Amino acid sequence: MRTEGKQDTRRAASRRTREVVLDGLAISPGVAIGPVYDTSEIRAETPRRAIQAAGVEQEKARLTAAAATSRKQVNKLKLRLSVLPEEAQEELEPLLDAYAMMLGESRLLRGARKRIETELLSAETAVVDEAEAIAAAILLAKDDDKPGLRRRAGEVREIARRLTRNLTHAGFRSFKDVPAGAILVAEELTPADAALLDPTRIAGVATEEGGSDGHTAIMLRALGIPSVLGCTGLTEAARRDDPCVLDGSNGTVVLRPSEKSLSAGKEALAVHARERTKLGKLRRLPAETLDGEEVDLQANLEIPAELPLIANAGAHGIGLLRTEFLFMNRDSLPDEEAHFEAYRPIVEATGEDGVTIRVLDWGGEKDMEALAEGMEPTYAGPNPALGLRGVRMLLKRPELLEVQFAAILRVAALGPVRALLPMVTVPSEVSQAREIYERVAKRLRRKGVALPDKLPMLGAMIETPGAALAADAIALEADFFAIGTNDLAMYTLAVDRAESAVSHLYDPLHPAVLRLIQFATEAALRLRMPVSLCGEMAGNPRLVPLLLGLGLRSLSMNASAVPRVKQAVRTLKIDDCARFARRVMEQSDPARIQELVMEFGKE
């Protein structure tokens, strides 16, 4: 028995010293080497609890007090912003503003109070139920912007978490004791947690939960801390003070590394430092080919919180500002002033580089309570992706378009902007929208509102096969094109990327998709009309030779992709790209096209 005990002890010791390699999501690039510091948050116990009718007012008072405490905490977090890097400040401030709004007279608090009154639930139970109902409705929306839906659901859950912790008097975790140079390991981090991290002390961050497109991921990138999220098995395998090598570029965490792994980690750390210096120098260099052709690299903006990442990436302007964030999680429509105040800081921050503002792209399937109340239920239809969405819906509800147009025209006096119409399929949609556009401009001028002498350009998104094939006719009505490759590929191939059974068929390099891009681009170029391409294709450095070869000179992408795309542009010659594009367009097999793309530049 004693011998068996010693063997168990040796086996346990061996497990504690054995190297463990874990894979997760690469969130923030960089390599960190240091000891593990594990941290966890005491779970707030919120057992389901019913109340008597006589206790309703008391529970509502508890909820009101918890909301007031939560608002104070959010305001305290705002005071901390001044000690964070500028990029992180600008990332977190709009999020904290959104938190403050949800802690006011919001749908979440109204719904929780109603549940207390009608279902006789305790305050914490009512908050949890209402938050999950709202989050579930957001996540079930048939919207191509899945990351945006997850972020919005996460915001609701984060506020519910804060409320329930204050209702149950459960403390929040602190990061004051994290030693310098440590790698922080946790089950999950919230954006508010990330705001408390000191990037000069913490070498890296690894968590078991979390995704690449949430607010926490954006915060970690803004702070510049090498990070890996979604690392299954991490908290069970890691122990405090374990040596660790974290690679935020490849999404790996090595616990108790061998000499070989430690040596490889040190080499990767040196390589990343050199690469970061190299890409950093590109920020101020032009996106120009070897033969002097300039390429306009712009960034897509999903929410204002991403603005500092765009500035840091060296993008020249915003090629696609999605405006749906203004309509989410609210029960009343944003008015002209709300739109103007949302656009103004973005236009001012972007300066002469310019902003392309896409007006609301909504279909009956999206979780926008304020809009849904004014729409007939039949508008959603059995297949919202093929129903009343984008410009179709706006022309049915012209008052929505008028409000957005008015704000866009007003903000155009502060800097260069363009207005973009979503889901255009026929030329008449552009001409009808232009009539509204010009009518709004005349009304504003009569009121003495300052507008630019020349109205901002009004463009059309090309994101369906019909629009691409009718591009030469649409070009006669629009001032510019923005080719949306994500939806274009989806509609062309009849594939929903979020549908696991068919997602493998989604291929933007399918010959049909490429020919539609080519057709739309050439239609614009024949009229010497600006044309840009946005979507995941624009941010893929390997596709740059093909896109330039097809005639495109303006690409809009996620901010993080800009440096590498710029690096690719600066290694190319336009003639080589044109020859390569001709070779690709001769192919009929997507697999062969993929091979050519991967082989380009190797010969």
pLDDT tens sequence across 73-88: 888 777 666 556 555 6
At residue 115 the predicted structure's pLDDT band, cuts being 50, 70 and 90, is very high
Greater confidence (173 vs 12) lies with 173
Q: Encoding tokens for residue 179? A: 């030693």
**Of 51-55, 365-369, 529-533, which has the strongest mean pLDDT?**
529-533
Question: What is the chain's mean pLDDT, rounded?
Answer: 85
383-405 confidence digits (pLDDT tens):
666 777 889 989 999 999 999 99
30-75 confidence digits (pLDDT tens):
899 999 998 876 666 777 888 888 889 999 999 999 999 988 888 8
Query: What is the mean predicted confidence (pLDDT) over 553-569?
Result: 89
Q: How far apart are CA 515 and CA 513, in angstroms?
A: 5
The b-or-e profile of 3-19 (16+ CB within 10 A means b, else e) is eeeeeeeeeeeeeeeee
Give the end-to-end CA distance of the chain in Å, rounded to a whole number: 67
- pLDDT, position 376: 46
Sheet with 31-38, strands from edge to edge, namely: 20-23, 252-255, 243-247, 31-38, 183-186, 204-207, 227-229, 25-28
At residue 364 the predicted structure's pLDDT band, cuts being 50, 70 and 90, is very low
| Residue from 445, 421, 417, 416 nearest 433 by CA | 421
- Judged against a pLDDT cut of 90, whether residue 355 lies above it is answered with yes
| Residue from 212, 192, 208, 227 nearest 91 by CA | 192
**Contacts with 359 (C-beta within 8 Å, 6 or more apart), sequence order:** 323, 391, 394, 401, 404, 405, 408, 419, 420, 421, 422
- pLDDT, position 217: 83
423-447 confidence digits (pLDDT tens):
999 999 999 999 999 999 999 999 9
- pLDDT, position 503: 65
CB 531 within 8 A of CB 555: no
- Among 42-56, 286-300, 302-316, name the one with the lowest average pLDDT: 302-316
Greater confidence (108 vs 497) lies with 108
- pLDDT, position 556: 94
Q: What are φ and ψ of residue 555, in 5° steps? A: -130, 140
- Judged against a pLDDT cut of 90, whether residue 196 lies above it is answered with no
Catalytic center residues: 215, 534
- Judged against a pLDDT cut of 70, whether residue 262 lies above it is answered with yes
- pLDDT, position 378: 37
Query: What is the mean predicted confidence (pLDDT) over 304-317?
Result: 76
The b-or-e profile of 179-215 (16+ CB within 10 A means b, else e) is eeebbbbbeebbbbbbbbbeeeebbbbbbbbbbbbbb
- Judged against a pLDDT cut of 70, whether residue 540 lies above it is answered with yes
Instruction: Say if residue 275 is exposed, middle or buried (CB neighbours under 10 Å; 0-12, 13-18, 19+).
Output: middle
| Residue from 475, 472, 457, 465 nearest 515 by CA | 465
Q: Encoding tokens for residue 422? A: 């979503």
Instruction: Say if residue 333 is exposed, middle or buried (CB neighbours under 10 Å; 0-12, 13-18, 19+).
Output: middle
